[in-house]
Structure 1
Amino acid sequence: MASKQIQCEMCGNENAVGYCKSCGYVGETCADIHKTVNVFQTHTVIMHEAVKMHEDGTENPNDILRDITEERCKQHLTEKAIFLCKIHDSTICGRCLHSEHRSCVEEVVDLLHEVVNIDCEKVNTMKSLLMEIKNEILLLKNEAEHSKENCNKNADKCVQECMGLGNKIKQRVDELTSGTRNGITKKHNENLTTHSHITKMCDEKTKWCHDAESKIDSFVDKNMAGHLYLMNRHFEKEVSDVRSHLKEFKHKHTFKEFGFKENDVILECLFQDLEEVCEQQEEVNGSDDGNANDVVASTTKINKTRREFTLLLSQVKQDLDQSEKARNALCDELKQVKQDKDNSEKKRQILEQEILKAKQGIEEFEKTRKGFEQELLKAKQCIEKYEKVRYQYKGVFSQIDA
Structure 2
Amino acid sequence: MRDFENTRHQGTACEVFRAFLKLGLTSFGGPVAHLGYFRDELVIRRKWIDEAGYVDLVALCQFLPGPASSQVGFALGLLRGGPFGALAAWAAFTLPSALLLVLLAFGASAFEGPVGAGLIHGLKVVAVAVVAQAVWGMARNLAPDRERASIALAAVLVVIFVAGSIGQVAAIFTGGIAGLWLCRADAPGAAVGHLTFRVSKRVGAMSLVLFGLLLLLLPFAAGMTQGLTLFDSFYRAGSLVFGGGHVVLPLLQAEVVASGAVSNDAFLSGYGAAQAVPGPLFTFAAYLGAVVGQGPNGVFGATIALIAIFLPGFLLLVGALPFWDAFRSRPVAQAAMRGANAAVVGILGAALYDPVWTSAILTPYDFALGLTGFILLTVWKAPPWIIVVLMATSSVVLTLHWV
- TM class by shorter chain equals under 0.3
Larger Rg: 1
**Greater RCO (Cα-Cα under 8 Å, separation 6 or more):** 2
Return the TM-score normalized by structure 1. 0.15
Q: Of Structure 1 and Structure 2, which has the larger fraction of its residues in strand?
A: 1
Q: Of Structure 1 and Structure 2, which has the larger fraction of its residues in helix?
A: 2
Return the TM-score normalized by structure 2. 0.15
